[in-house]
Amino acid sequence: MAAPVLVLDHPLLQHHLGQLRAVQTEPPAFRALVAILSQALFVEATRDVRAVPAEVTTPLGTAPSCQVQERLAFVPVLRAGLGMAEALLDFWPKASVWHLGLYRDHDTLQPITYYNKLPPRVDADLALVLDPMLATGGSAMAAIDILKRHHVRRIKYLGLIAAPEGIRALQKAHPDVPLYLMAIDDHLNEHGYIVPGLGDAGDRQFAT
């Protein structure tokens, strides 16, 4: 059985997702929305992170707390995953960031790896692949293949919008990887774009 696909259907998040999709949303607002939605996905995806009880001193006494024990790695797929990584680093600054440069060949729609900045020895307990648009699933599958070749044992995928085709492909190739999403859209068009989607997530973040 494949790992779960979680869609965060909280109305406030869905409100923000609507703004993100809107064609009139300019890059600065688009980036801010990507950040908020990515942090929400991050919180949900790390719900099971290992932590030990701790105690802190407040001005009025002591309070129970906890200390997270796991080392996290963010794996942004360039370039659209960059905004997600930045937002997650704001939330959890001590994570490692392993950049992966993958682009889709425009004719074959197959992923080509042009940059791989994984450390020689992986030193994270949990790696989060950050790729806002799960279209054909090609880039996500390639990113997870690379992580598995580096013996990363726990991997989760965080994305904003997915096409059913991409989910099916990813679950077939990597049934052990859970998916955390904001929406599952209708279909892919003939150019590999998610419909209705939001257009090109990289272009919309970086005004290209």
SS3 28: helix
Nearer to ligand URA, 80 or 124 (CB): 80
Nearer to ligand URA, 78 or 80 (CB): 80
Note whether 175 and 3 are within 8 A (CB).
yes
Query: Computed over its alpha carbons, how large is the radius of gyration of the chain?
Result: 17
SS3 51: strand
Note whether 75 and 128 are within 8 A (CB).
yes
Give the E-state strand segments of the chain in sequence order. 5-7, 51-58, 61-68, 72-78, 96-97, 100-104, 111-116, 126-130, 133-134, 155-158, 161-162, 179-181, 183-184, 187-188, 194-195
Nearer to ligand URA, 149 or 191 (CB): 191
Minimum Å gap between C-beta 75 and ligand URA is 17
Nearer to ligand URA, 133 or 142 (CB): 133
Minimum Å gap between C-beta 79 and ligand URA is 10
* Amino acid in position 191: H
Minimum Å gap between C-beta 122 and ligand URA is 27
Residue with tokens 């790695």: 73
In the complex, which residues of this chain contact ligand URA (CB under 6 A)?
Answer: 80, 133, 135, 193-194, 197, 200-202
Minimum Å gap between C-beta 163 and ligand URA is 8
Minimum Å gap between C-beta 145 and ligand URA is 19
Nearer to ligand URA, 78 or 133 (CB): 133
**Quick one: how far is CA 40 from the chain centroid?**
11
